[in-house]
Amino acid sequence: MSSLVRKTTGKLTSGLVLKSSYWNCSRFRSIHAPASAPQKGAATGLYGFDHLKSPQGFRRFVDEAIERSGELVTFISSMPSSAEVIQAMDEISNSVCSVFDSAELCRQTHPDREFVEEANNAAMRMNEYFHFLNTNHTLYSAVKKAEHETHLLTREAHMAAHYLRVDFERAGIHLSADKLDRVNQLNIEISQLCQEFKENIVIDPGYVDIFPPLRMPNNLYHLAKPIYRSNELLGSRSSKEENGFRLMTDSDSLSSILQFTSDDEVRKMAYVKGNSSPRANLGVLDKLIATRHSLAQILGYRSFAEFAVTPNLASSPAVVMSFLQELSKVVRSRADEEFNQIREFKLKKCMNKFEDLEPWDEAYYTSMMKSTAYNLDSSAIASYFPLSQCIEGLKTLVKSLFGASFYNIPLAPGESWHPDVLKLSLQHPEEGELGFLYLDLYSRKGKYPGCAHFAIKGGRKVSETEYQLPVVALVCNFSSSNDRSNVRLNHSEVETLFHEFGHALHSLLSRTEYQHFSGTRVVLDLAETPSNLFEYYASDYRVLKTFAKHYSTGEIIPEKLVKSMQGAKMMFAATELQRQILYALIDQTLFGEKLTSERGTASVVADLKRQYTSWKHVDGTHWQSQFCHLLTYGAGYYTYLYAKCFAATIWEKLCKEDPLSRETGNALRTKFLEHGGSKEPVDLLTDLVGDGIIRYREGGVIPDITSLCKEMGLTKNL
């Protein structure tokens, strides 16, 4: 190994390619951690980086990453061997992405605004540097030469050379200087627009004022802020103060309002307000679509959708649309049946007085129908899922499948960003430490509002005897009770935890030669497969009985209750699948062609909803103005449906018979998880379960939908 290719403390991301560049940093979401665990008791910086002992440390962090990368660029220009070129390129990525990804995690989770501001500045500086790397002809020429020298490289090194070359070309290496400057400018604008979109959601979540307070159910009082208004008495100069409540209509609050509020007018007000905020994002989204379209055209693509989909299994928007339309046709009749069932149920509840079914009725009546059919009580279900026991359940699952164990380990002084953060070490009795996992699971003000996996550091081979261990973080927003030991999850939250844990295992169990391929750094329409697969484990009684125990009595969750939960989940499964198909169709359409001023995003959403569902579109609403997947998964939302189909096939063919067996776990690990993105995705899938998981169509690959349709009882529609 060349002296210029040294161990770094960097880490890499996973999942989505960076929106502002195509230097292969982040194909999913990620952060980073140190090359080795900090010494017990020894002070360190954020995520184990010595530089990050203070917010200003981000500045030196950037400086050193750029300095080290410059050394490696100089080394590559000296025409070393092809193997050394790929290794040096991987270290450049490892170094620069450690900065960008740690900054990304910090921006999303750190409570200290000074840290957040410095992380923002670091990310902007790195974006500028990515442009230099992405347009460096010395690096490009070296990578092209290495790709042609197949006989001098390992299989994985040749694959890395190929994808690096493709990424350079997708970044516009072939363009003139002025066009490259325009690409850089557009990428910066895209990054800024995405940030503005997210900030607007936080600033303007919308709200409704409810008078009198009796119109709101007691179980929503914790979401409400007491307010007062003055009502002047008729014919009098005096006035009377009236009590009321203000309810925010952010996505989580809106979901609760629509599910639990019996007052039709309150639900309607909340639905309309919640789906028409923030209005400012309509303009931001228009600019984002136009800017991405301009970027794609400069790079030689007809649309941003074509640019985004080309590297994936699907290979073209036409293949994606054909898959979505096929799935839509299969599910339509069942979804229509469910729609009519909900409408009939509402009619009976309204004493046969004709009231049409409205969009704000769905959550309220479907919840009531599930409770009626299966006698379910959400609080009773949650009593079996204390968060601490769910974490123990994940540990048991890993032990059963892979023979590995998670151990709680202390955080070094300065390593954590919040007192709630836990750190786990994954260890195997024969292989030793496999990686590290941070858990940041409770909601708090200013924190990233959803749930996400951040691949802090990608694994990579450092030498014949040393491996850079992966480090990941799971960020969730579960109820922030003052008594952390008393936090209990509803079953949907349990599924979310298992989903994100699937991503974490993909990263932790990965053993690739290059961090370029570590863990979730796979083609986008494969990345969600492990996470979707692990959702099955969250609903299987054989798994749940190992950890789901009543918080006070210790009683194991009854199998009858689990069957009722499964039955309730399937009651409106076609409606939910149809909704996901609609989201994917909207995403493809918005980025599939340049929208004219006469046909804005609201028109697209309304037309597609009417075409592909039986539900009304409410004029004036613009749900798309808060759909953040349009930022991170632009023209890629369909990948969730790809993953849903792949996971259904893997579950049926490999896991369903004995989901906890070591044989099942060994197959998942050795044939899929440990390879990350270092094998072609088609080979990964077929090696794991054999034929019958993919289909070829129009030059691309789509999932076989048989297992999913069988699971949902839709086989007659195939």
Instruction: Report the pLDDT value the prediction gives residue 23, as an integer from 0 to 100.
Output: 43
Instruction: Report the pLDDT value the prediction gives residue 233, as an integer from 0 to 100.
Output: 52
Q: What pLDDT, in 10s, does the model give residues 377-393? A: 888 999 999 999 999 99
CB 451 within 8 A of CB 252: no
d(CA 536, CA 648): 9
Torsion angles phi and psi, residue 37, rounded to 5: -65, 140
d(CA 346, CA 586): 29
CB 688 within 8 A of CB 650: yes
Instruction: Report the pLDDT value the prediction gives residue 98, as an integer from 0 to 100.
Output: 87
Using alpha carbons, select from 365, 168, 307, 300 the residue that is nearest to residue 588. Answer: 307
Instruction: Report the pLDDT value the prediction gives residue 172, as an integer from 0 to 100.
Output: 94
Instruction: Report the pLDDT value the prediction gives residue 62, as an integer from 0 to 100.
Output: 97
CB 412 within 8 A of CB 437: no
Binning the chain into helix, strand and coil, the percentages to the nearest 5 are 55, 10, 35
Read off the pLDDT band of 7 (50, 70, 90): very low
- Residue 352: Cβ-neighbour burial (10 angstroms; 0-12, 13-18, 19+): exposed
DSSP state of 535: H
Q: What pLDDT, in 10s, does the model give residues 320-335? A: 999 999 999 999 999 9
- The mean per-residue pLDDT over the stretch 362-386 comes to 94
d(CA 213, CA 232): 19
Instruction: Report the pLDDT value the prediction gives residue 450, as an integer from 0 to 100.
Output: 82
Quote the distance between the C-alpha of residue 677 and its chain's center: 18
d(CA 306, CA 310): 6
- The mean per-residue pLDDT over the stretch 234-250 comes to 77
Read off the pLDDT band of 479 (50, 70, 90): confident
Over 80: is that where the pLDDT of 452 sits?
A: yes
CB 612 within 8 A of CB 578: yes
- The mean per-residue pLDDT over the stretch 459-475 comes to 93
Q: How is residue 598 written in tokens?
A: 């006469």
Place of tokens 């190992």: 546
Q: What pLDDT, in 10s, does the model give residues 546-590? A: 999 999 999 999 999 999 999 999 999 999 999 999 999 999 999
CB 28 within 8 A of CB 16: yes
- The one-letter amino acid code at 529 reads T
d(CA 377, CA 558): 14
Instruction: Report the pLDDT value the prediction gives residue 235, as an integer from 0 to 100.
Output: 53
At the fourth CATH level, the homologous superfamily of domain 381-528 is Collagenase (Catalytic Domain) (3.40.390.10)
Instruction: Report the pLDDT value the prediction gives residue 295, as an integer from 0 to 100.
Output: 96
Instruction: Report the pLDDT value the prediction gives residue 296, as an integer from 0 to 100.
Output: 96
> Residue 80, preceding bond cis, omega within 30 degrees?
no
Print the SS3 string covering 609-629.
Answer: HHHHCCCCCCCCCCHHHHCCH
CB 139 within 8 A of CB 133: yes
Using alpha carbons, select from 456, 474, 459, 466 the residue that is nearest to residue 673. Answer: 459
| 309-378+571-712 under CATH 3.40.50.620, yes or no | no
Using alpha carbons, select from 217, 79, 216 the residue that is nearest to residue 142. Answer: 79
User: Is-catalytic flag, 500?
Assistant: yes
Helices (H), 299-351: 304-309, 317-349
CB 425 within 8 A of CB 433: yes
Residues 6+ apart with CB under 8 A from 489: 382, 385, 386, 387, 390, 478, 497
Over 70: is that where the pLDDT of 1 sits?
A: no
Report in angstroms the alpha-carbon separations of 519 from 450, 505, 638. 21, 8, 21
d(CA 316, CA 310): 5
Over 50: is that where the pLDDT of 211 sits?
A: yes
Neighbours of 39 (CB within 10 A): 9
Q: Given the residues 415, 500, 528, 711, select the one marked as catalytic.
A: 500
Over 80: is that where the pLDDT of 6 sits?
A: no
46-174 and 309-378+571-712, same CATH topology:
no
Q: What pLDDT, in 10s, does the model give residues 78-127? A: 999 999 999 999 999 999 988 998 999 999 999 999 999 999 999 989 98
Instruction: Report the pLDDT value the prediction gives residue 3, as an integer from 0 to 100.
Output: 29
DSSP state of 658: -
Instruction: Report the pLDDT value the prediction gives residue 585, as an integer from 0 to 100.
Output: 97
Read off the pLDDT band of 239 (50, 70, 90): low
DSSP of 190-232, one letter per residue? HHHHHHHHHHHHHH---EEEESSGGGS-GGGGGGEEEEEEEEE
The sign of the dihedral angle between the CA atoms of 313, 318, 319, 320 is positive
d(CA 453, CA 272): 31
CB 274 within 8 A of CB 362: no
Helices (H), 78-154: 82-109, 113-134, 137-148
Q: Beta strand 422-428 with 432-442: parallel, antiparallel or unpaired? A: antiparallel
Q: How is residue 367 written in tokens?
A: 């919840």
Q: What pLDDT, in 10s, does the model give residues 485-532? A: 789 999 999 999 999 999 999 999 999 999 999 999 999 999 999 999
CB 689 within 8 A of CB 654: yes
What is the residue-averaged pLDDT of the chain?
Answer: 90
Using alpha carbons, select from 630, 625, 628, 620 the residue that is nearest to residue 204. Answer: 625
Torsion angles phi and psi, residue 539, rounded to 5: -120, 0
Q: How is residue 386 written in tokens?
A: 């204390």
Q: What pLDDT, in 10s, does the model give residues 391-408? A: 999 999 999 999 999 999
- The mean per-residue pLDDT over the stretch 64-71 comes to 97
- The mean per-residue pLDDT over the stretch 187-206 comes to 92
HSE of 499 in the Cβ direction (CA atoms, 13 Å)? 17
Q: Beta strand 224-232 with 239-248: parallel, antiparallel or unpaired? A: antiparallel
- The one-letter amino acid code at 566 reads Q
CB 89 within 8 A of CB 152: no
DSSP of 431-485, one letter per residue? TEEEEEEEEEEE--TTS-SS-EEEEEE--EE-SSS-EE--EEEEEEEE---SSGG
CB 24 within 8 A of CB 164: yes
Of residues 22 and 682, the one with the higher pLDDT is 682
Using alpha carbons, select from 685, 659, 109 the residue that is nearest to residue 401. Answer: 659
Place of tokens 């001023």: 597
Q: What pLDDT, in 10s, does the model give residues 18-67? A: 223 334 454 333 323 333 455 556 889 999 999 999 999 999 999 999 99
Torsion angles phi and psi, residue 178, rounded to 5: -70, -35
Read off the pLDDT band of 219 (50, 70, 90): confident
**Crossing angle of helices 573-592 and 601-612, rounded to 10°:** 140
Place of tokens 């100069």: 237
Map residue 261 onto helix, strand or coil: coil
Give domain 46-174's CATH number out of 1.20.1050.40, 3.30.70.330, 2.70.98.90, 1.20.1290.10: 1.20.1050.40
Instruction: Report the pLDDT value the prediction gives residue 104, as an integer from 0 to 100.
Output: 92
Instruction: Report the pLDDT value the prediction gives residue 213, as an integer from 0 to 100.
Output: 87
Q: How many residues does the chain have?
A: 718
Q: How is residue 549 written in tokens?
A: 């125990």
Q: What residues does each domain of the chain span?
A: 46-174, 205-232+239-277, 309-378+571-712, 381-528
